[in-house]
Amino acid sequence: MTDFQQIIILRNEGKTQSEIASKLNISRRSVIRYLKAGKIPAYTRENLVTRPDPLLNHFQMAEEKIYQFPRMPLNELYEFLVSNGYEGSVRTLRRKTVSLRRKLKNKEVFFQRQVNPGEVMEGDFTEFQVAIGGLKKKIYIWINSLPYSNAYFATPYYNCTFECFADGTVRSFNEFKGVPKQYRLDNLSPAVGQILSGKNRLVTQRFAELQKHYNFKQDFCNPGKGNEKGNVEANNKHFKEKLRAKIALENVSFTNLEAFRDFVWKLCREHNESKVIQKKYLEENLNTLPETPFKSFKTEVVKINKYSLFSLGTSGHMYSVPSLYIGLSLEVRVYPHDIEVVELDKVIATHKRIYGPKGLVSIKVEHIITGLLRKPGAFKDWKHRDVLFERPAWKRFYFKIIESGKSDKDFLKCLNLLTEFDRENVTLAMELSMENEMELSSSTLKKLITNEFKNVLSIGCLPVNLEQYDCFYKGEKNYGSENSGQS
């Protein structure tokens, strides 16, 4: 308005359009426009003529379809309308119906549960990445929690099979010093064989045995409803965050899974021993533990091949048994960290369970030494001969034997002592014979183990003659001397 008034005043003074524009610091075109209009121009947006709404004649049809089928995908609704003459785009249909679809979408309502002391325990697997032995590995942590007190206990494993699930459960029962009345779980394949209607489940045989041993009631969540065990889900998230932070803060490294397991247990116990948890935990009304714990293993039947080895499951890992079982089928009990080979309920071999790439083997010398003694020539080119040098002392002993002019068979005879004596004694005998430059033979080692070792290990305290202290009581000066002449 001010510019317009100044333009009129300057124009009446006889100023040119250019002079007016220069004086008011506006463009000459603005001056012309103001003078031509005789007033300040009004700016209005031009009303553009748009094409008719393509959904106008089909909106009622779309609305009816959405009410009838609230979960109908948008592309199906679009195809239906096109078949009835709709000529618009999918984008227009989405924009025009979004509020209607949002209004009809049912929101799931959740209800907070009230839990009584000792009533229920929840369990679940969760994945975790951690460096073990310098390598980043995926670990499965089984965690159990008591919703009433919020106490929890976790144990890490390399896989999530039945033996790991059962072992984690048993360890949690032992840690909580009792058994809950109900055990709430997902529909884990180690526990559930088939999902029936409602809460009914056809459980696996081993889960039924676990349930019978501890006398708890099963409570499986509905499929895809992990929120039904919300306490353990929340504790899973909280515990993993705490675990990552603790590892980073303390810059901890783990040489094996056992070391990581101890670290996990320590964190769990710190949580459970807090004042808030302890106060409610003392109110937990858990059932009494049975006298003996459940043995957490799964069973496989294997056949022993001509190399005195068998393969376990699909892992491709090989384990040895004594050669007299070649060609037989035997029962193998697979624990989370160990395996037992059983014949007629008698354990004939044990191994540490192998985790790692396919092709790894666990061979015990005492299982194959008899066969090697029969075929000593096989020693030189045997694929797994490194097992005969299980300890550095064994390898040094072998080279000493060869240097002394003896054969591979003499070394095998020495290792054959492992069928009679434990590894520590045989290894120590080898070291002593080398240090004292004795004859390197099985007879020398056996003599050391059965004679000198026995004497060394059986040395006890010398008998004490208490009468030698009588001098203190009698005031004698030459006490303890038998040849002093004192009486």
Whether pLDDT at 437 is above 60: yes
Q: 303-311 long-range contacts, Cβ below 8 Å, gap at least 24?
A: 303/327, 303/328, 303/329, 303/330, 304/328, 304/329, 304/330, 308/367, 308/368, 308/371, 309/361, 309/363, 310/341
Q: Is 470 exposed, middle or buried (0-12, 13-18, 19+ CB in 10 A)?
A: exposed
Express as a percent the part of the chain with pLDDT over 90: 44
List the structure tokens of 367: 């299982």
Alpha helix ranges (H) inside 322-407: 365-374, 392-403
Q: Is 55 exposed, middle or buried (0-12, 13-18, 19+ CB in 10 A)?
A: buried
Helix (H) or strand (E) holding 300: strand 298-303
- Higher pLDDT among residues 380 and 140, named by residue: 140
pLDDT of residue 295: 92
- Higher pLDDT among residues 458 and 82, named by residue: 82
Question: What are the b/e assignments for 94-107, b being 16+ CB within 10 Å?
Answer: eebbeeebeeeeee
The dihedrals phi and psi of 407, each to the nearest 5 degrees, come to -105, 175
Residues in CB range of 275: below 8 A, 6 or more apart? none
Whether pLDDT at 475 is above 70: no
Closest by alpha carbon to 124, among 143, 150, 149? 143
pTM of the model: 0.65
pLDDT of residue 74: 86
Closest by alpha carbon to 88, among 47, 57, 49, 48? 57
Whether pLDDT at 470 is above 80: no
Return left, alpha or beta for 251; rule: phi > 0 is left, psi -120 to 50 is alpha, else beta: left
Pairing assessment for the beta strands 120-132 and 182-185 based on DSSP bridges? parallel
Residues in CB range of 66: below 8 A, 6 or more apart? 72, 77, 97, 100, 101, 104
List the structure tokens of 193: 């064989």
- Higher pLDDT among residues 119 and 452, named by residue: 119
Confidence of residue 165 (pLDDT cuts 50, 70, 90): very high
pLDDT of residue 166: 95
pLDDT of residue 197: 81
Most distant CA pair in the chain: distance in Å? 155
Specify whether the CB–CB gap between 232 and 152 falls below 8 A: yes
The label of the residue with tokens 């499929």 reads 223
pLDDT of residue 11: 80
pLDDT of residue 38: 66
Pairing assessment for the beta strands 135-146 and 318-320 based on DSSP bridges? unpaired
Of 112-116, 223-227, 260-264, 421-425, which one has max mean pLDDT? 260-264
Whether pLDDT at 277 is above 80: yes
What are the tens digits of pLDDT across the range 446-459?
Answer: 989 887 555 444 44
Helix (H) or strand (E) holding 337: none
Residue type, 268: C
Residue 173 per-residue DSSP state: H
Residues in CB range of 230: below 8 A, 6 or more apart? none
Whether pLDDT at 97 is above 60: yes
Dist CA 427 CA 422 (whole Å): 9
Residue 309 per-residue DSSP state: E
Closest by alpha carbon to 325, among 301, 339, 306? 306
Whether pLDDT at 392 is above 70: yes
Whether pLDDT at 321 is above 90: yes
Average pLDDT, integer, range 39-56: 65
SS3 at position 435: helix
